[in-house]
Chains A and B, each alone.
Chain A
């Protein structure tokens, strides 16, 4: 049996940061379903917010984030995020991140949406990529054990304490138990619950669903962020940096329509505001072919596009056949980020002893109802660091938790039938069909604009999809790289999460941040200035309300 004092699940920015910090005091391993350098963190383009500039302040960053969150962010957590930002950037600098520089040689910063200042530290539009690779270099330096292409399948809980995991080694087609004193989940989001998403194929919400099944509390799952600018058709991300560098949004009349929605911030209003504006333009007949609007960079000049947005340019040329230096790009909003996740405190501790979480899988609630660009990358490193620190502390203080043979046997037995099964092959239904219906349903009925009747219908239809799913024969068969088996498991995770998202959205009868109800268009602080907590019940999720931590900033109307 394998043993590591701290086991990090997920090899993206939050996971690698947690592993690095924990490894200073404990034996750590990283388990990841893809090689760490291939994590979705690497696709992040824009930058890391940190109040480094002389005219900027941590206070301003805190306020922008609180306001951006539509007052649903926990202000104590936001204070931690913004206060630790500058020192984490310095730490990354000393690890070797190749930031873009100012003429004075300092780390350059750019504007992203919802910020009062050019606050995002960046490396061209490869910001996530270069930091991910730099952290990976440090993981190699420390000799941290990596289990690549291992899938977490179950958290092993004994007497209410997480005592290890059951994992599936894809290459060797076998189950393994890894005992640990602390498990840190850093498995990212669930973007693939939606048909239109910027997310990688790997983003199937595994960690959230597995934690939920093990009894952890999830929170604020109804808050799903839609990125305003993704390439029409493929939904490949076009960074907010494209607007940060001065890009315009135009409707089919060539008009910069943001003037009607956010006259002060224009294109740099927060993502929820911009996404709704784009949809409204399209819906009211001012889109192109009734489908998309334009993101216009042509006035910026080829040199700036080439220097600051090289990846955006490549992507647009390749996937949309448009060179943004000379022609506007066709764009539409698509699912991008999960504000909700496994509920944690500011040290990454979840409601389940022995389980921590950081990054997009977690909900420490710094983003509240809507995340500002540049804050998620910052969140990964700030809270990954804190989770790593706390997990190492636990490893020092706590004895090895009990993990009985009975627990291990039960887990092995329930999963090994999946491995040995021979369900693969022709059957009437398939994970592909269920996935397609599920993702279309989520995009069409649980998207940017929501309405009670459609949400209710979505809940019912998701229940039917779940019934169909339960009748599928698992595509087992002991063979290496059985991606069909993984796909089967992932669709199961997504169905759990979709149900929670849709039910949560139906339950919250107000509009706040990214959650917009056509039948309840106003924010309702009287009834809904609260978090949504959800835990697994007998046969369905059980919801409750939790308090929002408000320290300095009383809720006020959110104008841009």
Chain B
């Protein structure tokens, strides 16, 4: 089937401001938006967008699809196409556009540092963890740092959502010596954290859930 991709273009070397360009590509409806983008790239090799794993585990192809942030490789054409056969693709909002669909990720990765993003291991830790606790860590540990959460949410504070997820996952880790102190580190009031935890699964392309009882840690 033919699909019209309406793609936001911007080359800082020549363009004063972003504009839209249409590409008509031939794809199957079970193909992904990434498949369609790869077709558009063949038509114009100058088109810039990130991609790598094509199986929703690397997070490279995060962008805005019909106004909604998501992963191009995870979104099927049939779920993205509008009635008039179009799909609009833009860079992630809340990020600085560098070229076409490529955004500046440095501040996003930089913000991880705000939460001491590693396990501060207890000296006396014996290397064991109950399966119940391990299961609690599992979902937040699947964060792929794609940035979709940051694009999809109103920023809850200085610390970006992915950093919050990392901080909450570490607060739940029995090996970590900081534990509850991590909630202070995040500089986010607990009621706002609870709201964040509640909203996260529907914004996150991995559907990440954080147990709400972390707020009682």
Contact = CB atoms under 8 A, between A and B. Distances in A.
Whether A and B are associated in the same complex: the answer reads yes
Interface of A: 34-35, 37-40, 42-43, 90, 93-96, 98-107, 123-124, 126, 129-130, 133-134, 137-138, 140-141, 148, 171, 200-202, 234, 236-237, 311, 314-315, 318-319, 321, 424, 430-432, 475, 477-484, 487
Contacts of A477: 46
B114 to A, nearest CB: 11
B141 A130 contact: yes
7 contacts: A34-B52, A38-B58, A40-B53, A43-B57, A94-B175, A432-B45, A480-B98
B60 interface: yes
Given A98-B173, A201-B54, A479 B13 contact: yes
B55 interface: yes
Contacts of B49: 483
Nearest to A478: B13
B53 A42 contact: yes
A424 B12 contact: no
B55 A101 contact: no
A34 B60 contact: yes
A412 B125 CA distance: 52
A201 B129 contact: no
Contacts of B117: 137, 140
B109 A35 contact: yes
Contact of B128 (A105, A200, A430, A484): A105
Nearest to B32: A319
Nearest to B58: A38
Nearest to B45: A484
A59 B54 CA distance: 38
Contact of A104 (B56, B76, B128, B138): B128
B171 interface: no
Nearest to A311: B57
A283 to B, nearest CB: 26
A90 B128 CA distance: 11
A553 B57 CA distance: 39
Interface stretch (B19-27, B99-107, B181-189, B191-199): B99-107
B131 A38 contact: no
Contacts of B99: 479-481
Nearest to B116: A141
B48 interface: yes
Given A94-B125, A129-B142, A101 B134 contact: yes
Nearest to B74: A318
Interface in B44-91: 45-60, 74, 76
A434 B53 CA distance: 22
Contact of A480 (B12, B57, B112): B12
Contacts of A99: 129, 134
B21 to A, nearest CB: 15
Contacts of A35: 60, 105, 109, 145
Contacts of B175: 94, 96
